[in-house]
Amino acid sequence: MYPVTLNLSGRRCLVVGGGAVALRKVEGLLFEGAKVTVVSLRPIPPIMDLSSRAVIGLESRGYWPGEASGYSLVYAATDDRKANRKVFEDAKASGVWVNVADDPQLCTFHLPARLLRGTLQLAVSTAGEAPFAARRLRELFERRFGPEWGEWVKAAARFRKTVRGVRRSEEEEARLFDRFFRSTVDAKRLTARVPAAAEEVAWLSGTGRKKKPGLVSLVGAGPGDAGLLTLRGRQRLLQADAVVFDRLSEAAMPGDLPRRVELYSVGKQAGLHPVPQEEINALLLRLAREGKRVVRLKGGDPYVFGRGGEEVLALLEANLPFEVVPGVTAAIAVPAYAGIPVTHRGEAVQVTLVTAHESEKQSGPQVRWDLLAQDRHQTLVGYMGVAALPEVVKKLLAAGMDPDTPAAMVERGATPGQRTVRSTLSNLTADAQRADLRPPSIFIIGPGVRHAENLNWFTTRPLFGERVLIAAPAGEFGEALEKNGAVTVEVPLPLTPAAQVLIGAHPLTGCILRSADEASIVFEESRTPGFGPEVIAWCLGKETAHRARKLGFLRVKEIESPAGAADLIARLKQHRRARNTYTKPSMRSMRQ
């Protein structure tokens, strides 16, 4: 098939048929400015509405033999193949392009699946043989080609007009167009940006830009569920030259970051600060001065007890550009994952966020525990509260808070290892210690806690606690796993450095192996932190299982081939039912 693009503006086009398929054809033609006539005995209401508003012409009748010859383009979309064939034969005999829906043999052209970004069009066609594949490829391109491409095309058109307005040789024009493209398009990530006017002036004058400092983006990673990373945050990560990350942000690291991206672990976590804040600030300044695009990836939100303000002040003092990409803070997300509404009409009308460490300050209180204790219609959420909880409870009780106030502590919220202790204010300390809750944990004190048993949705799903590795693309397996409560760790093979960080964020419970080759590659990567001897290799088919056992996987579960997502989920559920509690996998190598 010979690909072309048609200008249908003002052209008369015919659609024979009045159903949903015909409506899609009508809408596509109208988008291109065509004058559309529909012929149908039983048009659906949306088509009748277009006619009533004089957007299209509608003939409520059957197709007349020979009438296709009076149009520039014809679609047939009836459920009568004999009628469709007649339309096709008439149009073909008159030299009119014709397409019969879902019948490639009765087409002189095929409509591709299109992605539109302004005047930029990306078309995918299978010559009518596999339209479902074309549609899904278009959906893939939609995720990779963002809306910025529409503005980029406008900028490219303006730049071309400017270049053509000045007398230059063909070689000079080609050089300028190449420079525009190289400077504004990231070919690996398929992202584009609109150049500044000063850049275009420099290109046209033949001068280069001086090296400018890179942008530092402080990105909130959320509290543990990678799905809570914002769209802007992911975009900045995919555009980065360097990523500086905390221990609590590792689960949000995209596994498909290119290998060229520099990764710097500053390792901050509760009770352990191997990299002083001053050194983190200095690292950000150095990377930005080198002109790198830097992402400072921080757990939760950068400005909620994340010391993001200190890092921004250091950048500001050094006159380096920065931005802040907010994240979902633990005080909002973790209670929601534990079934606790932090506000509830008639019960809690305000939320107070505190860092429980302030209860231990010897220089004087920065938190007025006495005032907080008097408000019965608030929710009090405390960060970093494990060690300080006894003192917090003591101060609140001493200030008059009701000992029976509902209270809870949540460990590792929004992760596969989430554990919740629900209690009362007076008993919370003892109950949390009995359960051996450890950092990172937050406490929630307030009336909303009493709803947790009914509103708990996260830990009640059948595969909660499963964290499963799968090679990209995860496809239907990934969708089914997440729907049932498992965490899917989707990574490229062989692993990128970013994927290794992602895997090590929390222990794996299993890996899905869809072929013998995948088994070999995954086993080679099994020294990555996050793997342990308890990791189950879920193998699709006998050959895959045989390879896994031969390689040395310690726990192999075979799923008979042909195996789909439903088979895998059923086996995983069966396995979960056989286990009474979630057991934290050790970090020993699978090779032991």
Active-site amino acid positions = 246, 268
CA 130 to chain centre: 28
Q: Can you read off the two tokens belonging to residue 567?
A: 């088979």
Whose CA is closest to 216, among 244, 246, 249, 235?
244
CA atoms within 13 A on the CB side of 477: 23
Query: Among residues 438, 489, 487, which one has the least CA distance to residue 464?
Result: 487
Q: Are residues 494 and 525 in contact, defined by beta-carbon separation less than 8 angstroms?
A: yes
Can you name the residues that pair with 216 across neighbouring β-strands? Answer: 294, 322
What's the Cα-to-Cα distance from 268 to each of 249, 274, 440, rounded to whole Å?
10, 7, 12
Q: What is the DSSP letter of 506?
A: S
Packing angle of the helix pair 516-524, 542-551 (nearest 10 deg): 30
Amino acid in position 532: G
Q: For residue 107, give the DSSP letter.
A: B
Q: What are the backbone angles phi and psi of residue 89, rounded to the nearest 5°?
A: -65, -40
- The Cα-based distances of 423 to 158, 298, 387 in angstroms read 65, 31, 18
- Phi, psi at residue 308, to the nearest 5°? -65, -35
Residue with tokens 């500086």: 244
Whole-number Å distance between alpha carbons of 518 and 509:
17
According to DSSP, the β-strands at 35-39 and 57-59 are parallel
Are 557 and 506 in contact by the 8 Å Cβ rule? The answer is no
